[in-house]
A and B are shown apart, each in its own frame.
Chain A
Amino acid sequence: MLNALAGLAFASFVAIGLILVGRRGGHGRCGRVSQFLVFALAVSLGPGLLQRDAWPFSSWPLAANEAGRSVTYSTLVALDATGAEHAVDYRAWQPLGFDELLSWIQLQFPKLSRAEQDHAARYLLGLVEAARARAASERRVGYFDRFLGPLTAPNFLLHPRLWIAGAVPSSRFVGLRVYSETLVLDNPARGGGVVRRRLDYEYR
């Protein structure tokens, strides 16, 4: 229902803008513009006040939820032929966004059948192995910087570049593991840090 309403809101925003405002001059133009402005204000304030996102009329819940004492999230590592785990540079997953991929892994991946999980994992393994091989030979990880180089827009959440020169894993990747990690948000001296790491899925 929300998708339908949000889609209608945007379509109306475009249509009303074109019909009321798009045509130049004419009698009562100020009034027509005012009608468009009233509509624009209503359709943009509604999602914010009700806190129901209707993108691009967003509710903007930036860091709005309680931070909590601990947080559980999914993490992905690659495996080589010896079974050793390797951290994966966030750029290796492109065109997938790293945060979006982890959210999908945490929320949707567990709902898939084993066969479907394996099929998705095979795709991800192909993606990350191709990125590793390219990083090892061309010293480039990912391709989002193909046009703008160092001026490429960052992700909203920054991530460290793990596969810098000399740190690219030399062994071919043959598997993936998905872990759930629980992080207690406090200093290590007070019990903070990763307190639990559970293997949720493995693909070889």
Chain B
Amino acid sequence: MRNLAVNVTRGWGRFWFSDGSAINLAAARILVTGHALWILLSRDPAALSGLPAEFWDFVQDTARWRFLIFEGHPLWEHVLQTTALVALGAALVGLWPRLCCLVGGVLLYHLAPFETIMYTPSPWIKGYTVTTLALIILGSSRCGDALALGGGSERPPAWEYRWPLTLIQVALCQVYLFAGYAKMLRTGPTWLLEGVRGYTQHYIQNEEVAVFHALGGWLIAHPALCVAAGCVALALNLSFWTVLFSRRARRVLVPFAIAWHIAVLFTMNFAFLEAPLLLLFVDWQSLRERLAARKPALLAA
């Protein structure tokens, strides 16, 4: 028992507190704030505060207080939305990055639910979920020690750069893990037989959704391939977490997940908006070092 406790403690320490890279954490800051800006600049959640009262009739008071969303204040919400954009922009370039990440994360928590609150308090599929959590994590971390306009000279122990990035990566792995878990819990093994075919059929047959028809139509004409695709989808969901522990898994599963999301886009007409955050698994520090090492050779050529 004592050995187990020692091993768990050592494993915990290795996983969270090994040496990290200031560059990788800063790259995470840039990716996360860039992603948040991409989503927020592509929407206008503040404007939804001005919807007529009928759209708010069934919004629970507890949901209002949970997000501090009180309808009828579009001007004020636009001030908050602009503040979020400025904070995210400042965090992107590394100006007061911790404070700006925190401000951006808290404001996204408030603004994102506007998009869905009239029928559900959860905007889980709208592209803000992992980003909101990541911004709060970055706001508590040393994310501004590299790739920043206002970077300081003080350098903490290298493990301070590891745990925040790892925690954000854990949040991203949970997307895949829970997606697979939810399939098995809610539908069971029959999902493997019918899930891919059913959803593909739905989203290519419904004229209000179908943008891409060809690949989905070809897929559903081959039932065995639909079952195989379902097995691959579930395998990806339930194995993706291994990228947290294995470089080999990362080299295989991250590109595969990106390719899978592209395939899903063209078959089912689903755009998984959190997919660009898969770049969080790239070791930017190593990439930078490899490019720097090749530079003299390239210049000589």
Contact = CB atoms under 8 A, between A and B. Distances in A.
Contact of A159 (B58, B118, B211, B272): B211
B38 A119 contact: no
A66 B191 contact: yes
Contact of A157 (B51, B195, B209): B209
Interface in B243-285: 265, 268-273
Nearest to B132: A56
Contacts of A164: none
A61 B203 CA distance: 17
A7 B182 contact: no
A154 B262 CA distance: 13
A133 interface: no
Interface string B186-215: 110011001101110111011111111000
B215 to A, nearest CB: 13
Given A153-B39, A156-B273, A193 B205 contact: yes
A185 B12 CA distance: 48
Contacts of B183: 63-64
A55 B66 CA distance: 10
A32 B47 CA distance: 40
A111 B167 CA distance: 43
Contacts of A61: 178-179, 182, 186
B119 A95 contact: no
Contacts of A7: 62, 65-67
A83 interface: no
Contact of B167 (A6, A40, A60): A40
Contacts of A147: 41-42
Q: Is the interface of B mostly helix, strand, loop or mixed?
A: helix
Interface string A93-108: 0111110100110011
Contacts of B194: 66-67
B106 interface: yes
Interface in B39-68: 39, 41-45, 47-48, 51-52, 54-55, 57-58, 60, 62-63, 65-67
Contacts of A37: 16, 163, 167
B63 A3 contact: yes
A59 B271 contact: no
B190 A66 contact: yes
Contacts of B163: 33, 37
A71 interface: yes
Interface residues of A, number: 82
A66 to B, nearest CB: 5
Contacts of B41: 147-148, 152
B119 A100 contact: yes
Nearest to B212: A158
B276 to A, nearest CB: 10
Interface in A1-41: 1, 3-4, 6-7, 10, 13-14, 17-18, 21-22, 24-25, 30, 33-34, 36-37, 40-41
Nearest to A143: B44
A37 B164 CA distance: 9
Contact of A154 (B44, B118, B208, B271): B271
B174 interface: yes
Given A100-B118, A160-B210, A44 B174 contact: yes
A1 B197 CA distance: 37
Nearest to A103: B119
B185 interface: yes
Contacts of A44: 133, 170-171, 174
B181 A120 contact: no
Contacts of A40: 137, 167
Contact of B208 (A75, A107, A117): A75
A60 B195 contact: no
B122 interface: yes
A67 B197 contact: yes
B128 interface: yes
Contacts of A3: 60, 62-63, 65-66, 121
B72 interface: no
Contact of A67 (B54, B175, B198, B270): B198
12 contacts: A7-B66, A40-B137, A41-B170, A55-B121, A59-B178, A64-B191, A66-B186, A96-B51, A116-B57, A155-B271, A157-B203, A159-B209
Given A51-B182, A58-B178, A65-B187, 19 more contacts: A1-B62, A18-B140, A45-B174, A51-B185, A55-B123, A64-B182, A66-B190, A67-B197, A67-B202, A73-B206, A90-B208, A95-B47, A100-B119, A104-B55, A116-B57, A153-B127, A154-B273, A185-B201, A192-B201
